[in-house]
């Protein structure tokens, strides 16, 4: 749906994805995005983020935007305060982690494991490690054997420059691991394996309940398959212009791309008008 009509209910809470949504392809917050978040606050609209990133990858965003609410890391499996203190944490069952890692390795994709506060991998010069360094503002831990970390993994990532391979794996692994893990691409080149029964939608629901805000008054923004769980739990769901067609089809509105200040445009076109309409 691509209607330009404002949401019929006043918005009281906005939850946004980060990569591909809140930040540019260069992992930067634009002046327009920062101003849009400021305008949300001025209008009395609560704001926070839900991301596939680990907690450390949320630190700069929280500081730059002055966030005060809990944030969802690892697609909501870890909930942290703006100072990164852990409020709740769920890990992938060890048996599932080992099986998922074996499947990804067998398919010939690179493997990253996020566990015990580490971003661990075998080859520090492998594809997309530079992208992740810039995203997280952190260095990986290089290990020869990832197996010990699979006992306490928060997230496993299959990494490949072949988006088609990862898209196919997303479908087959989601079926094979149904009920044991949540499997979605967070970027065309990242296939994330996270704990079962937990997704960004659950995080949105929990934050709304914490603030006493009804579903109809929640707006969410995202660009990837893992954001569709948020769309299902919000009154207003906004897909980015750079999103895949299946993600756009799941949203109630579509905004501009992340590199065209799509977040700021959505705030101006869809969210603030709804707030004004509900509070003349």
108 by DSSP, 3-state: which? Answer: coil
Q: How many CA atoms lie within 13 A of 143 on its CB side?
A: 17
Does the predicted model carry a pTM greater than 0.85? yes
Q: Tens digits of per-residue pLDDT, 114-137?
A: 999 999 999 999 999 999 999 999
Crossing angle for the helix pair 94-106 and 163-176, to the nearest 10 degrees: 140
CA dist 169 and 158 (Å) reads 9
CA quadruple 47, 234, 58, 268: dihedral positive or negative? Answer: negative
The helix (H) or strand (E) run that includes residue 31 is helix 31-42
Task: Give me the pLDDT at residue 131, please.
Answer: 94
Q: What is the CATH number of domain 13-89+198-278?
A: 3.40.50.1000
**Residues 155-200 pLDDT 10s:** 999 999 999 999 999 999 999 999 999 999 998 999 999 999 999 9
Structure tokens that stand for 11 in this block: 């918005």
In CATH terms, 94-194 corresponds, of 1.25.40.390, 3.30.1240.10, 3.20.20.70, 3.30.750.24, to 3.30.1240.10
| Torsion angles phi and psi, residue 46, rounded to 5 | -70, 150
CB 158 within 8 A of CB 114: no
pLDDT tens profile 22-46: 999 999 999 999 999 999 999 999 9
Q: What is the pLDDT of residues 215-274, one digit of tens each?
A: 999 999 999 999 999 999 999 999 999 999 999 999 999 999 999 999 999 999 999 996
Tell me the chain's radius of gyration from C-alpha atoms: 18
* Per-residue tokens: 239: 């897909």
Q: Token pair for residue 35?
A: 């101003």
pLDDT category, 58, cuts 50, 70, 90? Answer: very high
Domain boundaries, the chain: 13-89+198-278, 94-194
């Amino acid at each position: 749906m691509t209607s330009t009509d404002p949401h019929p209910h006043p918005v009281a809470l906005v939850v946004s994805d980060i990569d591909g949504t809140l930040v540019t392809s260069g992992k930067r917050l634009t002046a327009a995005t920062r101003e849009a978040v400021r305008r949300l606050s001025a209008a009395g609209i609560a704001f926070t983020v839900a991301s596939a990133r680990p907690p450390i990858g949320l630190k700069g965003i929280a500081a730059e935007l002055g966030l005060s609410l809990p944030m969802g890391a690892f697609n909501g499996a870890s909930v942290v305060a703006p100072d990164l203190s852990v409020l709740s944490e769920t890990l992938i069952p060890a048996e599932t982690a080992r099986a998922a890692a074996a499947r990804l390795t067998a398919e010939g994709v690179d493997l990253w494991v996020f566990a015990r506060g580490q971003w661990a991998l075998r080859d520090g010069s492998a594809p997309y490690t530079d992208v992740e360094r810039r995203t997280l503002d952190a260095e990986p831990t290089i290990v020869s054997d990832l197996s010990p970390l699979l006992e306490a993994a928060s997230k496993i990532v299959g990494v490949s420059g072949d988006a088609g391979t990862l898209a196919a794996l997303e479908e087959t692994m989601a079926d094979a691991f149904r009920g044991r893990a949540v499997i979605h691409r967070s970027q065309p080149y990242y296939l994330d394996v996270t704990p079962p029964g937990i997704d960004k939608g659950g995080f949105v629901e929990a934050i709304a309940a914490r603030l006493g805000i009804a579903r109809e008054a929640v707006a969410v923004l995202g660009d990837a398959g893992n954001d569709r769980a948020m769309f299902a739990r919000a009154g207003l769901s906004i897909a980015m212009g750079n999103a895949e067609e299946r993600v756009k089809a799941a949203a109630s509105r579509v905004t501009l791309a992340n590199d065209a200040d799509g977040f700021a445009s959505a705030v101006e076109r869809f969210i603030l008008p709804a707030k004004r309409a509900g509070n003349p």
